[in-house]
Amino acid sequence: MNVYDFDHTIYRGDSSLDFFFFALRRKPYLAVLAPFQAWGVMLYLFRLISKETMKAYIFCFIRFIPTEVMAGEFWKKRRRNIKPWYMRQRQEQDVIISASPEFLLEPLVKEYLHCALIASKIDPKTGVYDGKNCYGEEKVRRFREMYGGEKIDNFYSDDYADMPLMRIAEYAFLVKKDKIIKMEI
């Protein structure tokens, strides 16, 4: 089984950030939330709130948009950002594991990539997290929860924060733009 991180690995960019700006262009009134969102980031930087709470501040904008509809529209425009190297080697047995919201990646995975998805569970109506951000060790925990002791043949990521998954894969690859480098773990 091949497992892939999503943002900056098989997707050119950060899908959450791109989705926010996509929504902002269509609903400019969302700009009034910027001070609230910045406040959440500041509280996080001072270690007064968790990463999940900070991200809930950022994702508060989804309370004011038709989230599922907009996510579908977003991927009609942005699926071209899926890197060609991934499209050439993808398989239905692939697993994408990402800190990005499940509600955002689900339309792309179901309609275009046809593979399994493990992502951060965020309420698509409120932006509030249900559990932990799917990041670092949490990715391993979520993978084991879904697949037990099944073996990861190849794991691809752009970020050393994914070292916990790299360690349990037979082979790990670091992705920098379109360059894929085999890691020695």
Tokens linked to 153: 């043949």
Indicate the helix (H) or strand (E) that contains 172: strand 169-176
Compute the distance between CA of residue 48 and CA of residue 124 in angstroms, rounded to an integer: 25
CA distances from 173 to 60, 166, 178 (A): 34, 8, 12
In the numeric block, the tokens 């904008």 are attached to 61
**What are the pLDDT digits (tens) for 115-157?**
999 999 999 999 999 999 999 999 999 999 999 999 999 999 9
Domain ranges of the chain: 2-182
CA distances from 14 to 29, 68, 167 (A): 22, 18, 24
Compute the distance between CA of residue 126 and CA of residue 103 in angstroms, rounded to an integer: 12
**What are the pLDDT digits (tens) for 27-39?**
999 999 999 999 9
Task: Tell whether domain 2-182 is in CATH 3.40.50.1000.
Answer: yes
Cα–Cα–Cα angle for 6, 12, 13, rounded to 5 degrees? 80
Report the pLDDT value the prediction gives residue 185, as an integer from 0 to 100. 78
Compute the distance between CA of residue 138 and CA of residue 142 in angstroms, rounded to an integer: 6
Cα–Cα–Cα angle for 51, 57, 139, rounded to 5 degrees? 35
pTM for this model (two decimals): 0.94
**What are the pLDDT digits (tens) for 22-73?**
999 999 999 999 999 999 999 999 999 999 999 999 999 999 999 999 999 9
